[in-house]
Amino acid sequence: MSHPDLFGGLPLSEPAKVARTTQSLPPAESAAQFRATLHHHAHAYYTLDAPEIPDAEYDRLFRELQALESAHPELLTPDSPTQRVGGPILDAFAQVTHRVPMLSIRTETDTEASGAEAFDTRIRKELALTEADPAVAYVGELKFDGLAMSLRYENRVLVQAATRGDGETGEEVTANIRTIGQIPLRLPIGAPAVLEVRGEVYMRRDDFEALNARQRERIAAGTKGEKTFVNPRNAAAGAVRQLDSGIAAERPLSFFAYGLGDITPVTEGGPQWTTHYDMLQQLKAWGFPVAEQTACVQGAQGLVAFHQRIAAERDALPYDIDGVVYKVNELALQARLGFVTREPRWAVAHKYPAQEEMTTVLAIDVQVGRTGKLTPVAKLAPVFVGGVTVTNATLHNELEARRKDVRVGDTVIVRRAGDVIPEVVSVVLERRPPDAPQFTMVSHCPVCGSLAEREDGEADHRCTGGLFCSAQRKQAIWHFAHRRAMDVDGLGDKLVDQLVDSGQVKTLADLYHLKLDSLANMDRMAEKSAVNLLEALEKSKQTTLGRFLFSLGIRHVGEATAKELARHFGQLDAVMAASEDALLQVPDVGPVVAHSIRTFFDQPHNREVVQALRDAGITWAEGDALAPTEMPLAGITVVLTGTLQSMGRDEAKEKLEALGAKVAGSVSKKTHYVVAGAEAGSKLDKAQALGVPVLDDVGLAVLLAGEKP
């Protein structure tokens, strides 16, 4: 992609040739050519995301221009790409009076769809429109969570960048803003003599994470005065307000344009626009990043749909937004609507529920998981964040808790984005009470008092109590009863708590000795439910070896591994007796899993549990050990997609697996067949792209007959 006339008619294509031929040109022309070439490639790289030359080539051109400018300082121009790396250190920022004030926008705090409808209603009223009048045209934009910036171009060169300040007067931060690769330092021919572009400087989330990781390293290395940043906005603001633009240059910032300030009339024959949307398109053509989500929409319905569409996309965006902005599209209508105090009547910000909020840590509890994992959990003063009330946030393990240094009494920032579990982002150190104690991991299990241990090379502490620990026992029972394990219908969390707490169930086998009268006597347990539970337990006794192995809750043995073990060994005694080497022969079983299985069956109490369950009447059809290679579909990987006619996907999966096939969830080069039913989607596309054979119901039938189509 090249823009031959974008940067003042200078040759822009074939940069290497330009660089070579410049040697014979007078220095001034040579510098101008270097600058034009570098501008072109910076635009392709930062704004279009479509670099045309390798980074090393860009660096080489850049260094040549730097050398030329230091040999001829009089050739240095403010729009030179070499100015992006930062200038001298300032004592203070100069004040800038905005020729056109930087306004703010009214915020619609109602985060529901009604917020958008209220704005449309207001606009229609102000414009004295009746029901008979057509829908008002709006532009939907993202509300970026950064800081507002005004970029002033004179004679097409960036001469000044200023913060919003109080709207009338801001601070001059030009040297720092020049370091932002996405911001053009020079505009193409045709741009007005004076142009102020308004927009948002922000930091992408991945850039923010990388910056904080680097800051942590610096702090660990003992560098004085370094700190981590609370969120991308805070990091962006810190970078913009750096007096040393060399430091600002190390902090990766980005920019989106969304409006105009001061502008001289666009010359005759030059670009013209009568709508906000067309103005944004013009800014884009001049090289400014404009968010691709920006859209023209009609009336309240269009606004509501835009709000919902962006809400669904929000978590996938690489940067934070805190809402959307609606603007009346026709500039003539904007002029008619005018302003109230400092806010235009023609625009509104429509927020989403915040994803980050501040709250306090009331306690740090340690919870015990099914396999004994001890997890520190911050108990929080209830806070509404990401659309739900949050009272807990996991601190994962001791190392994480220490790294974040969360303490009881601390004020913390909690983040909840999408369906992700809430987490503590950081501590507001300024608000820490003086006596807040550092978190230390418990030495004993808070539930059963057994020793808590951390194995070498592992981050997690574990309770060593095993099924002696009631917390582990409860979770072992939930797991045992799970639909995909022993499938005991009606054995919910609350009931398990009661059964364990009342001492009726100490081991898994006790479940099968429960009596109707003691069950029916329990809290909130109707006789009918008690009867149903006993029936479900009775029914669960007839199972498969794979389900039984899965239900034991052996660490690292998931459903698929349990099935493989059953298929490989055929009999429970063979699994229990298998050496680690023998276990390693099972598909997908590696050293960690093999060791875990061996350790489990080496423990006498686990063998007792197994025996007690067998004594209670649990049975399955035992088969002969079947080397997987003897099975007709051994070594074949199949992916199922779409709606099959002959059977459900679960049934097809079970039948294929019984013949030794592996049924995978996603298509890769290793997939042997994709079985596609009606309305198959992306998996079918991927199969076709990779050249994986695609089968229909007939092909599936051939496979299930044990043949390879």
CB 325 → ligand IVH: shortest distance, Å? 4
Segment lying near ligand IVH (by CB under 6 A), choices 139-147, 176-184, 236-244, 457-465:
139-147
Tokens of 261: 């300030």
Question: Within 607-666, which residues bind ligand IVH (CB under 6 A)?
Answer: none
Q: Between residues 353 and 369, which has the closer beta carbon with respect to ligand IVH?
A: 353
Tell me which residue has tokens 């946030």.
393
Stretch that binds ligand IVH, among 140-148, 350-358, 461-469, 592-600 (CB under 6 A): 140-148
| Closer of 103 and 687 to ligand IVH (Cβ) | 103
Our CB check for ligand IVH shows the closer of 348 and 633 to be 348
- Among the listed residues 125, 143, 474, 494, the single catalytic one is 143
Instruction: State the alpha helices, DSSP H only, in 43-98.
Output: 55-71
Stretch that binds ligand IVH, among 1-9, 342-350, 501-509, 696-704 (CB under 6 A): 342-350
Chain positions 163 to 202 lying near ligand IVH, rule: CB under 6 A, are 164, 200
Work out how close the CB of 245 gets to ligand IVH at its nearest, in angstroms, rounded to a whole number: 22
Sign of CA dihedral 658, 664, 667, 668: negative
Of 255, 233, 254, 237, nearest in space to 413 by CA: 233
* Residue with Cβ nearer ligand IVH (284 or 402): 284
Angstrom distance (rounded) from CA 543 to CA 555: 21
Q: Give Cα 249 to chain centroid, integer Å.
A: 26
Among 297, 347, 633, 638, binds ligand IVH (CB under 6 A): 347
**Between the CA of residue 386 and those of 404, 422, 629, what are the distances in Å?**
21, 9, 50
Per-residue contact flags (x/-) with ligand IVH for residues 281 to 320, judged by CB under 6 A:
----------------------------------------
Measured from the CB of residue 290, what is the shortest distance to ligand IVH in angstroms?
Answer: 10
645: left (phi over 0), alpha (psi -120 to 50) or beta: alpha
By DSSP bridging, strand 411-415 and strand 619-620 are unpaired
From candidates 79, 141, 356, 357, binder to ligand IVH by CB under 6 A: 141
Query: Hey, which residues does 254 pair with through a beta bridge?
Result: 202
Q: At its nearest, how many Å lie between ligand IVH and the CB of residue 343?
A: 8
Nearest Cα residue to 332 out of 137, 142, 195: 137
Which secondary structure element, helix H or strand E, spans residue 238, and what is its range? Answer: helix 232-240
**Which of 15, 289, 344, 422 is the binder for ligand IVH (CB under 6 A)?**
344
Give the residue, chosen from 31, 44, 96, 148, that forms a contact with ligand IVH under the rule CB under 6 A: 148
Helix 55-71 and helix 27-42, axial crossing angle in degrees, nearest 10: 150
CB of residue 349 vs ligand IVH: minimum separation in angstroms?
A: 6
Would you give the binding string for ligand IVH spanning residues 241-260, x where CB under 6 A is met? Answer: -----------------xx-
Helices (H) and strands (E) in the chain, counts: 25, 26
Q: Which of 325, 337, 469, 572 binds ligand IVH (CB under 6 A)?
A: 325
Nearest residue (CB) to ligand IVH, 328 versus 644:
328
Of 344 and 553, CB closest to ligand IVH = 344
Considering only 143-151, 203-211, 415-423, 427-435, which stretch makes contact with ligand IVH by CB under 6 A? 143-151
The region of 343-351, 407-415, 485-493, 701-709 touching ligand IVH under the rule CB under 6 A is: 343-351
- Among positions 55-114, residues that touch ligand IVH (CB under 6 A) are 103-105
Helix %, strand %, coil % for the chain, to 5? 40, 20, 40
Q: Which of 578, 548, 573 is nearest to 563 (CA)?
A: 548
Closest distance of CB 104 from ligand IVH, Å:
3
Cα gap 709→703, rounded to integer Å: 6
Give the nearer residue to ligand IVH in terms of CB position, either 104 or 228: 104
First and final CA of the chain: distance in angstroms? 46
Question: Could you tell me the smallest distance in angstroms from the CB atom of residue 208 to ligand IVH?
Answer: 17
Selected from 98, 143, 233, 404, the binder of ligand IVH by CB under 6 A is 143
Residue among 69 and 141 whose Cβ is closer to ligand IVH:
141
Rounded Cα distance between 227 and 211, Å, is 10
Contact 190, 244 (CB under 8 A): no
Other CB atoms within a 10 A radius of the CB of residue 549 amount to: 26
Q: Closest separation between CB of residue 277 and ligand IVH, Å?
A: 13
> Do 382 and 360 touch, CB atoms closer than 8 A?
no
Nearby residues of 64 by Cβ (< 8 Å), 6 or more positions away: 19, 34
Q: Where are the alpha helices (DSSP H) in 554-644?
A: 559-569, 572-577, 580-584, 591-602, 604-615
Q: What separation in angstroms does the CA of 515 have from each of 100, 478, 688?
A: 82, 19, 57
> Please, which residue, 105 or 520, has the CB nearer to ligand IVH?
105
Asked if 144 touches ligand IVH (CB under 6 A), the answer is yes
State the DSSP string of 289-313: ---TT-EEEEHHHHHHHHHHHHHHH
Instruction: Fill in the DSSP letter of residue 444.
Output: B
Please report how close the Cβ of residue 10 comes to ligand IVH at its closest, in angstroms. 33
Does 506 participate in catalysis according to the annotation?
no
How many residues bind ligand IVH (CB under 6 A)? The answer is 15
Least gap, CB of 357 to ligand IVH (angstroms): 19
Cα–Cα–Cα angle for 620, 623, 627, rounded to 5 degrees: 135
Which 522-551 positions form the footprint of ligand IVH (CB under 6 A)? none
Least CB distance to ligand IVH at residue 294 (A): 8
Residue 324 vs 364, nearer CB to ligand IVH: 324
- Using DSSP, state whether 436 is helix, strand or coil: coil
Using CA atoms, how far apart are residues 175 and 189, in angstroms rounded to an integer?
24
C-beta of 164 vs 415, nearer to ligand IVH: 164
Q: Coil, strand or helix: which one is 72?
A: coil
**Catalytic amino acids?**
143
Contact positions toward ligand IVH, by CB under 6 A?
103-105, 141, 143-144, 148, 164, 200, 258-259, 325, 344, 347, 349
